């Protein structure tokens, strides 16, 4: 009788953990989609403010960095986003106050928030995945380990 109870509890735990992992992976996917949308919004805002810059190297660098972030896939995304951050850091002091700069500030703030939510979701999923039982029973299936997204998103002074 005790063995049946222990087996039932173990089955319940494994089932609950597998469901939790599935929900955590769904949360990571949703957080990534939100982060991706905010990164696209920031790149679009950067393209808009680039047109307000006088012709020169900062304008060229900002336009090129914004274009690259809109064209890149997941691989290499952190590097091009950091390039955009550097270009924005150099260009923002040259920009006049206005709606385009406000949109850029808003987009940059939202990127920071979305990145925080994404990395929190990744951390939660990794904590559960790295426990002994989920690893031993391969409860995550064939899903790859979620990755943190680290960029310098402190480009626009608030």
Q: Token digits for 129?
A: 């995945």
* Residue for token pair 């039982």: 133
| pLDDT at position 98 | 77
Which domains, from first to last, does the chain contain?
20-136 (1.20.1440)
pLDDT at 86 over 50: yes
> Distance (Å, rounded) from C-alpha 35 to C-alpha 113?
8
User: In this predicted model, what pLDDT tens digit does every residue of 91-137 receive, in sequence order?
Assistant: 888 777 777 788 899 999 999 999 999 999 999 999 999 999 999 98
- pLDDT digits over 25-68, tens only? 999 999 999 999 999 999 999 998 888 888 888 888 999 999 99
Distances, alpha carbon 15 to alpha carbons 19, 29, 133, 137, in Å: 6, 21, 12, 11
DSSP track, 56-88: SHHHHHHHHHHHHHHH--STTHHHHHHHHHHHH
pLDDT higher than threshold 70 for residue 84:
yes
pLDDT confidence of residue 155: 61
Return the pLDDT at 94.
77
Segment 135-150, tens digit of pLDDT: 998 988 889 999 999 9
Q: What is the pLDDT of residue 157?
A: 54
Query: Do 18 and 115 touch, CB atoms closer than 8 A?
Result: no
pLDDT value for 158: 47
CA angle 72, 75, 76 (to 5 degrees): 70
Q: What is the pLDDT of residues 7-30, one digit of tens each?
A: 999 999 999 999 999 999 999 999
Q: How many CB atoms lie within 10 A of CB 117?
A: 17
What b/e readout covers 5-19, taking b as 16+ CB neighbours within 10 angstroms?
eeeeeeeeeeeebbe
């Amino acid at each position: 009788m005790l063995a049946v109870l222990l087996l039932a509890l173990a089955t319940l735990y494994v089932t609950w953990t597998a469901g939790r992992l599935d929900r955590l992976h769904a949360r990571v996917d949703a957080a990534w989609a939100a982060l991706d949308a905010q990164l696209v919004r920031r790149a679009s805002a950067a393209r808009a403010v680039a047109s307000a810059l006088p012709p020169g190297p900062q304008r060229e660098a900002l336009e090129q960095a914004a274009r690259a972030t809109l064209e890149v896939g997941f691989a290499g995304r952190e590097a091009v986003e950091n390039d955009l951050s550097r270009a924005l850091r150099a260009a923002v002091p040259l920009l006049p106050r206005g709606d385009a700069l406000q949109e850029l500030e808003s987009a940059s703030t939202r990127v920071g928030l979305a990145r925080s939510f994404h990395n929190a979701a990744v951390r939660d999923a990794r904590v559960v995945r790295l426990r002994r039982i989920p690893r031993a029973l391969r409860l995550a299936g064939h899903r790859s380990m979620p990755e943190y997204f680290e960029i310098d998103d402190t480009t626009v002074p608030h």
